[in-house]
Amino acid sequence: MLFLGSDHAGYSLKKAITDYFDANSIEYKDLGCDTDSVPCDYPVIAYKVGTSIKEGDLGILCCGSGIGIGIAANKIPGIRAACCSDVFSAKYTRMHNDANILCLGGRTIGPGLAIELVDAFLKAEFIGQHHSDRVEMINKIEKGTFEIK
């Protein structure tokens, strides 16, 4: 499943993405917010999306910069959220870091670039290999079991 969410500052960008998904029959679940006219706290939306993601699911989060909502999402065990503003990073964060949430800034990028980033993120797959060891190190840091050898 693909989960989406935004605060009020990222709403317009999220709306452009959902319009693109609807036009291309891409399934998703929108977890809010529903307007840009009422303030919405990005940690609430990050929590809703992050706790909905299970093995194999992906998410897209939007706030003003993409940074705050990504920081909040990364506090949730198992979440690897990456704020991206270029296609290379959106692609390689999936391929090398097995990122499961793409964070975008509604005040920093436009809808055209956002769609390119979303496409790159969704089409890329984790390549494993030595990157699996690094993702496992991240998991150990999260669990408090990481040791430097």
User: Which residues are the active-site residues?
Assistant: 63, 96
**Residue 34: which residues within 8 A CB-CB, separation 6 or more?**
11
User: How many CB atoms within 10 Å of residue 123?
Assistant: 10
Could you give the CA distance from residue 21 to residue 98 in angstroms, rounded to a whole number?
22
Closest CA to 101 of 109, 113, 93: 93
Residue 52 contacts residue 3 (beta carbons within 8 Å): yes
**82: which 2 tokens?**
């990456």
CA distance 6 to 61: 5
